[in-house]
């Protein structure tokens, strides 16, 4: 959750910097976002290794990678539209922030599910 929050805060700072046209703030926001995002990648790999077994790990890792590449592809098409429709680059950054807010909610749900799964596993007596 900390990594997701770090990404969200960094992206918020980055979007604000685009609206204010402040380059120093953009560097700070991008650095915070990058730290959170890279740590999230490690967290996702850890979750995949716990939830999936043997041959399933490769498929799950490939699916995770495909989602990331798909997001980049969609962004390549949406960015020019947001630039034209919303009068500048800052609109795309704010859209990205809103999408990351949804990802943060998804991280909360996944974390809750994972904690419930751990509790159920601990209740089983062998």
Domain of residue 7, residue span = 2-123
Burial per residue of 44-83, b for 16 or more beta-carbon CB atoms within 10 angstroms, e otherwise: beeebeeeeeeeeeeebeeeeeeeeeeeeeeeeeebeebe
pLDDT of residue 108: 87
pLDDT of residue 50: 80
Count: domains in the chain = 1
Residue 81 CA to residue 6 CA, distance in Å, equals 28
Could you report the per-residue pLDDT of 52-92, keeping only the tens digit for each? 887 788 888 888 888 888 888 888 888 888 888 887 888 88
Angle at 35 (CA atoms; ends 30, 107), nearest 5 degrees: 105
Could you report the per-residue pLDDT of 108-123, keeping only the tens digit for each? 888 788 777 766 666 6
Residue 111 half-sphere exposure toward CB, CA atoms < 13 A: 12
């Amino acid at each position: 959750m900390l990594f997701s929050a770090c990404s969200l805060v960094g992206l918020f700072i980055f979007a604000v910097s685009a609206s204010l046209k402040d380059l120093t703030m953009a560097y700070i926001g991008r650095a915070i976002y990058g730290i959170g995002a890279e740590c999230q990648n490690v967290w996702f790999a850890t979750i995949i290794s716990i939830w999936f077994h043997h041959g399933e790990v490769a498929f799950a890792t490939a699916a995770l990678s495909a989602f990331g590449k798909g997001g980049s592809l969609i962004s390549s098409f949406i960015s020019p539209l947001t630039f034209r429709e919303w009068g500048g680059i800052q609109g795309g950054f704010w859209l990205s922030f809103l999408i990351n807010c949804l990802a943060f909610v998804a991280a909360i749900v996944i974390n809750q599910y994972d904690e419930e799964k751990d509790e159920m596993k601990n209740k089983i007596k062998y």
